[in-house]
Chains A and B, each alone.
Chain A
Amino acid sequence: MDSQVPGRKPALTPAAFLVRGLLAGLLAGLIAFAVAFAFGEPHVDDAIALEEAAAAHLTHEEVAAEEAAAAEPGMVEISRERQKSWGLLTGTAAVGTALGGLVALASAAVVGRLGRLSARGATLLVAGAGFVAVALVPFLKYPATPPAVGDPDTINGRTVEYFALLLVSVLAAIAAVVIGRRLLTRFDGVTATLVAAAGYVAVVSVAGLLLPGPESLGSFPADTLWSFRRASVLTLASLWATIAVVLTILVGRLHDAATADAERRALAASL
């Protein structure tokens, strides 16, 4: 369609959205790293100190079992300094970039299709819904846990439960947007949005009630736990806020250019 005018304005294509999303996501990963390093790492260190203090009370058999496990092929030990710098950065940058691209493609699907909502408004809505569906709702049911909490024997079950809730939450959010859009034919924008949001909350609430609860925390100190979780929410919020702001600006500019281009062509055709 847009190939009729080659090499002109950036057209509204999936690739144009994706590139902007990857850029916004990479930047978000860097900012999330800075937040996690500054506010989260002190509490991760506290938790690891508790873990090591507990390890001092292990029996000889338990120590021998751990040493045998560590000697297996493929097992490495990475220093704390590397884990909290390059390791943390790798994780936040990879997740940030991946999520940025996904948010951009989701925005590409809704821009120009949600009533009279502008491209900027639609992008902001998708990023906001993404934060709620991908980060906040799973956190409310299965909050982040610091090292020293969590029994390695239950990791399979906890992983399945976490990702099951994440899947339900994302599908419910997509359904809410699709249904909300249909409601626009009968209701105004605010009503349609509220009804769709209520439907989303109902679905994830039922999923949350059906899924098993989070694992017991044992005797982990409550103040360290709270500080860690607050830092974790702050990290997730900074990641999503950066994606939202940067992508909204970039998609807004892209859309302005595409609209101006379309208007020029419409004018030229009418002459």
Chain B
Amino acid sequence: MSQSSAAPLVPAVELPAVPLLQLGTWVVFYGLLAMLAIFFVSADQGAISLPAGNAVHEWVHDARHLLGYPCH
């Protein structure tokens, strides 16, 4: 946005956008966090178990079925 203020003749309708390089860091870190959250609801203690047992699976059981993930 500072570029447009440096060139006053640039049309004011130029759409502001988020710099992609800055966004990349957020995508990587938040992406990992989001996938971890989705993993616990969608797949934990099915094909892979972290931790062992069935407590997580049993607790989110109904959400796993109704959100369409493979359950048991």
Contact = CB atoms under 8 A, between A and B. Distances in A.
Interface string B1-35: 11011101010101111111011011100110111
A211 to B, nearest CB: 13
B43 A163 contact: yes
Interface stretch (A56-64, A108-116, A189-197, A199-207): A108-116
Interface residues of A, number: 80
Interface residues of B, number: 53
A103 B37 CA distance: 15
Contacts of A147: 61, 65, 71-72
A253 interface: no
B23 to A, nearest CB: 5
Contact of B65 (A14, A144, A152, A239): A144
A117 to B, nearest CB: 9
A84 B58 CA distance: 11
Contacts of B72: 147, 150, 152, 155
B58 A78 contact: yes
A124 to B, nearest CB: 16
A92 B63 contact: yes
B54 to A, nearest CB: 5
Contact of A12 (B16, B34, B43, B59): B16
Given A83-B61, A159-B47, A74 B55 contact: yes
B58 to A, nearest CB: 4
Q: Which of B2, B23, B35, B68 has the most CB of A within 10 A?
A: B68
12 contacts: A13-B22, A76-B55, A94-B37, A97-B37, A105-B27, A111-B18, A139-B68, A147-B72, A155-B46, A160-B47, A162-B70, A268-B5
Given A12-B18, A97-B37, 15 more contacts: A44-B65, A76-B58, A92-B66, A145-B70, A147-B71, A150-B70, A155-B46, A155-B47, A155-B70, A162-B69, A232-B65, A236-B67, A262-B16, A266-B5, A268-B5
